[in-house]
Amino acid sequence: MGIRDIAAESVLVGAAGRAILLQLANPAVGRGVAEHSDFAARPLDRLARTLEYVYTVVYGTSAQVDAVVRSVSRAHGPVRGAADAVGPSYSAFDPRLQLWVAATLYDSAIDMHERVYGALDDASAERIYQDYAVLGTALQVPREMWPADRAAFRAYFSHELETLQTDETIRRVAAALLHPAAAPLWLTAAMPLARLVTAGLLPASIRQAFQLPWSPARRRFFGCIMAITRAVYPRLPRALRHLPRDQALRSVSK
């Protein structure tokens, strides 16, 4: 089993909010997003671009991968700023920041997959982990920067978690993302559930840093949602489970 066996599962999209908030909590990433991105105002567009990148890098042809990488690089070009009283310097081409973004995508995807399907055997888990490096190396992350194995990744990820922090600006960006002002009716209706799942999937320290509401009742509700997902999702038709992947690949093929 490798990345191609799990990345198409649409249930992994349910961990997108977790990945994004982990990314925002990196001070340099958060500042870059706050100063250069409109994704909070256009959450569906941002999600679609991220999924398009992931699905293309994993499943696309060489030509499609080259095209999506060029598109991402063009978008990253203006995203840079010098250190000042507000925060650290940043550049979207900084491989350390790109490594963190790729790491959050991997960690969030594997966390959700194992919650739904159960723990992977060691060989499959390691193969999938090694495969996920491509999300960073397709851009500016040297292969040797990707932690050597899952144990090294856990050490890296735990260390990075300790450095994460938020401020009023970053929390405002997160709030705009979780409470979109201009959204289709169906998205507005779905957001309470999305906020609950995002809060439930986050490490407690990051949930607290973003001041997300949590309580025993919310924890029990989150547990119920995950239990229903485990019971229902794996039994859905493959075509439905892989629909976002198939739509994204059709889009890049046009």
**What pLDDT, in 10s, does the model give residues 124-141?**
999 999 999 999 999 889
- Tell me: pLDDT of 43 over 70: no
Range of 91's domain? Answer: 3-246
Q: Is residue 254 part of a domain?
A: no
**Residue 228 included in any domain:** yes
- Tokens 């929390």 label which residue? 171
Q: Is residue 184 part of a domain?
A: yes
Judge whether 169 lies within some domain: yes
State the chain's mean pLDDT as an integer: 90
Handedness of CA 169, 175, 178, 180 (dihedral sign): negative
159 versus 184: which is more confidently predicted?
159
At residue 154's C-alpha, the angle toward residues 117 and 130, to 5°, is 65
Q: What is the DSSP letter of 90?
A: E
Question: Across residues 202-210, what is the average pLDDT?
Answer: 97
Q: 53 in a domain, yes or no? A: yes
* Placement of tokens 């925002």 in the chain: 24
Residue 83 pLDDT grade (very low, low, confident, very high; cuts 50, 70, 90): low
Q: Which helix (H) or strand (E) holds 165?
A: none
The number of folded domains in the chain is 1
Q: Is residue 141 part of a domain?
A: yes
Asked whether the predicted pLDDT for residue 197 surpasses 80, the reply is: yes
253 found inside a domain: no
pLDDT score of 41 more than 70:
no
Query: Given this model, what pLDDT does residue 101 score?
Result: 95
Least confident range from 28-32, 115-119, 208-212: namely 28-32
In a domain, 94, yes or no: yes
- The burial of 74, by beta-carbon neighbours within 10 Å (0-12 exposed, 13-18 middle, 19 or more buried), is given as exposed
Look at the chain and count its residues: 254
| Range among 57-66, 186-195, 201-210 with highest mean pLDDT value | 201-210
- Give the global pTM: 0.92
Q: Quick one: pLDDT at residue 187?
A: 82
